[in-house]
Structure formats: C-alpha cells, structure tokens
Amino acid sequence: MPHRAGGPVPLASRSGRENQLYGEHGERLVAGSIPVRFKPGVPGPDGVEVLLISSRRGKGDVFPKGGWEVDEELREAAQRETVEEAGVRGELEEPIIGKFPFHSGKAERQASAHGGRCIAYLFALHVTEELAVWPEAGQRTREWCSLQDACRRCRYDWMREALIAWMTRRGWDAAAAACRECAAQRQAAQQAAPQAQALPAQQQQTPAPALAVVQPGACGAACAPVMATGGPLQVQVPAEAPVPSPVERIAVRT
C-alpha cells in the first residue's frame, strides 16, 4: 500500500470532502503524526529528531495531518496523511498519543456546518523511509530538527502539547518542562503584541522591555542544557498540563 514503507510511491494526495468523517458533535475528524527518528548511540531526548513541514500558506511549521475518511481505519489515515504531506513512511508507535481539539481558521471551514471545529488524532511515527518525491513536495518544505527546536518553531499550541505529551510518556520530564516553558514564553509574546499595537504613537516610541518579545532562538540558550543533560530545570515552570488519554473508542458519524 502507498502509505506503507516499501510500497509504491503515491502520486497524488486525496482530494474532496465527500468522504470526510465527523464526530458525534459535528467536529471534523483529523489524523496525523509526529514523525521522529533516533540517533544511534545517543540515548534520551538529545538523540531524537523531529520532522517539521511548512504549511501550504507558508505561515509556519507544522506536523503532517489531514482529514480522516470513511473508508479508512484511523492508523491508515494517519500514515496516508504523513506520506502525502511529509513524504516519509514508517511504523506508528502504540498507543496513540491522544486526541486534540482545535479550531480551523480557514474561512471555508468556519462557514461550514462544523464551524471550523476539529479533533485531531496524533501518533508518533518512527520513520524508516524518506521519499525523494511525494505528492505535496512542490507545496511544502521539510526539515529535521531537535525536540527543542520543534517546540520553539511549531506553529500551533495543540501540536506542541501533543509533542509534550509524547515526551512525558517516554519519561523525559525535564525536556517536557523545558518545552512547556518555551510555550509559555511564546504565549506571553503573543499576548504582548496586541497591547503594544494599541498604545498611542508617542508611547510606542519608548523601547519595550527586553522580556516583552521572545526573539527567535531565545529559548534555545535556556533550554539547551536541560534538553541535553536531562538535569534539573532552572526556570519557573507553569502548572502541569493534562496529558490526553489514549483513544480507545471513537464515535463518528458520516
């Protein structure tokens, strides 16, 4: 099968919404993965690389995911979306990381019956094959990066929470806490930006405090020692976020 390692190379992505699955409350159901690979001989979180892909509209880096369709089992949908968008294949890690509700900002989905409401089911995928050509190669770029960089660069908070949940499940608590701290700094910067724009022009001329905006890579220096050594965290960490429980049974309607 095209989504399985060693199978035929898929030539095109599926299109259309006529086969889309929906949840019991009308949410659009989405399946995808966090593609990972492990450096030989390097244990712990420092030996993990994560694959990020660019969004089609070029507005940030994401994990591959897309609509789960009526003729697919959940795992098949996750693998298909991964090879279509990221061009990699491999083995899904069990159990599923969890399910993550989110809201799609695309105008056509906001105007639909589900109003942009979605639920994503994400797995970790251990990559064994990286294709040179794949269906969306002309629309996206892909890049392997460290866990630390993935936490910093990931566009959506719910995807970052999925990555944190996977790290926590593996027992990498210090790495997960460092990622959560990066997320907190990112959220603080996003909240500060609208406030700065609302200030009168004369106030905007006053230099902002150094901590008001997180510069690209700012978390890197603070988080790198924790990521590399797994040692005690030296920063203030917000309250532990709940880790989504594995999905055992999924109720859907077409």
Please list, in sequence order, all residues whose beta carbon lies within 8 angstroms of the beta carbon of residue 230, skipping any fewer than 6 positions away.
44, 45, 172, 174, 175
Lowest mean pLDDT among 140-149, 168-177, 234-243: 234-243
Specify whether the CB–CB gap between 153 and 63 falls below 8 A.
Answer: no
What pLDDT was estimated at residue 112? Answer: 59
Q: Give the residue-averaged pLDDT of 189-195.
A: 78
Beta bridge partners of residue 184, listed in sequence order? none
Task: Using only the alpha carbons of the chain, give its radius of gyration.
Answer: 19
Q: Measure Cα distances from 173 to 3, 46, 209, 224, 227 in Å.
A: 32, 13, 31, 14, 10
Taking residue 10's Cβ as centre, other Cβ atoms within 10 Å add up to 20
Q: What are the structural domain ranges in the chain?
A: 22-182+224-230
Q: Give the residue-averaged pLDDT of 127-145.
A: 96
Indicate whether 145 pLDDT > 90.
yes
User: Over the range 202-236, which residues count as b (16 or more CB within 10 Å of their CB) and which as e?
Assistant: eeeeeeeeeeeebeeebbeebbeebbeebeebeee
Specify whether the CB–CB gap between 179 and 222 falls below 8 A.
Answer: no
pLDDT confidence bin for 36, thresholds 50/70/90: very high
CA-wise closest residue to 98 among 157, 36, 162: 162
Q: Check: pTM over 0.85? Answer yes or no.
A: no
Which of 133 and 236 is assigned the larger pLDDT? 133
Which of 119 and 234 is assigned the larger pLDDT? 119
Question: Is the bond preceding residue 95 a cis peptide, omega within 30 degrees?
Answer: yes
What integer best gives the mean pLDDT of the chain? Answer: 81
Indicate whether 240 pLDDT > 80.
no
Burial of 238 (0-12, 13-18, 19+ CB in 10 A): exposed
Virtual torsion, Cα 145, 243, 103, 151, nearest 10 deg: -20
Q: Which fold has domain 22-182+224-230?
A: Nucleoside Triphosphate Pyrophosphohydrolase (3.90.79)
What pLDDT was estimated at residue 11? Answer: 81
Which residue's structure tokens are 């712990």? Answer: 44
What pLDDT was estimated at residue 211? Answer: 39
Please list, in sequence order, all residues whose beta carbon lies within 8 angstroms of the beta carbon of residue 125, skipping any fewer than 6 positions away.
33, 34, 35, 36, 78, 79, 82, 88, 90, 91, 92, 93
What pLDDT was estimated at residue 192? Answer: 83
What pLDDT was estimated at residue 91? Answer: 97
pLDDT confidence bin for 105, thresholds 50/70/90: confident
CA-wise closest residue to 89 among 101, 97, 81: 81
Indicate whether 166 pLDDT > 70.
yes
Q: Give the residue-averaged pLDDT of 9-25.
A: 86
Please list, in sequence order, all residues whose beta carbon lies within 8 angstroms of the beta carbon of residue 132, skipping any fewer than 6 positions away.
87
Please list, in sequence order, all residues whose beta carbon lies within 8 angstroms of the beta carbon of residue 217, skipping any fewer than 6 positions away.
152
Two tokens, residue 21: 């699955």
CA-wise closest residue to 243 among 146, 163, 154: 163
Indicate whether 143 pLDDT > 70.
yes
Q: Of all residues in the chain, what percent carry a pLDDT higher than 90?
A: 57
Q: What is the pLDDT of residues 175-184, one digit of tens each?
A: 999 999 988 8
Which of 198 and 219 is assigned the larger pLDDT? 198
CA-wise closest residue to 62 among 131, 2, 122, 129: 122
